[in-house]
Amino acid sequence: MNLLVDINHPAHVHLFRHAIQTWQKQGHTVIIAARNKEVSTQLLDAYHLKYHLTTNATHSLWGKMWELIQQDIKIYRLVRENNIHLALGTSVGISHISRITPCKSLVFNENDMMLDKSSYFLSYPFADAIITPDCIRDKRTRKYYTYPSYQELAYLHPDRFTPDESIFSLLDISPGECYFILRFVAFKADHDIGHRGISPPFRRHLIKLLSEYGRVFITSESQLDNDLEPYKIPIPVHQIHDAISFASMVVGDSETMCTEAAMLGVPAIRCNTFVGQFSISEELEHHYGLSYGFLPDDEKSMINKIEALLKDKNTKEIWHEKKEQLLKEKVDLTAWMVNFIEEFYQRHFK
């Protein structure tokens, strides 16, 4: 197979990297196209994955329109030059190019359709396959394929991930020492328009509260204020999951990192105006009890839940049991993906 994997966001490096390595070991050709957004290229470099840079992420409307045109052109060239059979990713570009070349586009998405309208209008109509977790509440079409898992289990399933205990020395803490990770996002993505998360004053309140129980580390998409810089987590970007796995709790306004914490059996408390809308977060909260969501105007309830979990000496064991139940019902997404792509290729190119 000749495959193109388009990396549109740092999380997608993790989503595809194990599958890419598997395909390469099997002798398939894998071309990686990457959008320079946040730490995506740093992650690709850390995992020694060679890539072709397509565009630099922009935030203005006109900038995004121009970026889309550039992305389409560069992906088209990569597809033609490398005789690509299947283009995989989450970007709009691969679905456009599959309409004017023989290659097929497979769009992976974990957001509900109506919360990611840019994909719905710009990508889905042109894609050959739309691949989502089976808990997503979208209306299914013939192009939909679902799996019993989450994107995060492509890289955090125990068959793929073992936490590295060297993280303790990087954080300058002792094994078993209580610490917390706060995650703040910039809310600049297309689907973030009109939404908000944890306010600056509440950030400081959380730091004060959590500091009474252990160390506090912050990871943030945007520049931190000077008084918060001392809390910035001092680790390489590719080791954030090691840090999460040993944390006592993850608190933030990031859906992705809170989902990652849940996969690792770490209590996840998220605060944003998406609460109640994302199918994945709703399943993790109401079916598995691994995370809790609070609206920004409900800070008191959020604080009460955090304090209750911190005071319960059985929280760690309870979350371990919840995680094990989840893993019994979900699959290693990388293994599923590798098998699915092979079968899809055989149906369309053999």
pLDDT digits (tens, 9 = 90+) for 215-236: 999 999 888 999 999 999 999 9
Q: How many helices (H) and strands (E) does the chain have?
A: 13, 12
Q: Where are the domains of the chain?
A: 2-157+332-349, 167-329
For domain 2-157+332-349, the CATH superfamily is Glycogen Phosphorylase B; (3.40.50.2000)
| pTM to 2 decimal places | 0.93
Determine the average pLDDT of the residues in 228-251. Answer: 96
pLDDT for the residue 61: 76
* Distance from C-alpha of 2 to C-alpha of 84, rounded to nearest angstrom: 5
CA separation for the pair 292, 277 (Å, rounded): 13
Burial profile 161-189: b = 16 or more Cβ within 10 angstroms, e = fewer: beeeeebbeebebeeeeebbbbbbbebeb
Give yes or no on whether 2-157+332-349 and 167-329 have one common fold: yes
Token match 């396959």: residue? 129
pLDDT at 316 over 80: yes
Class of the domain covering 167-329: alpha beta
Average confidence (pLDDT) over 339-345: 97
The rounded distance, in Å, linking the Cα atoms of 93 and 54 is 10
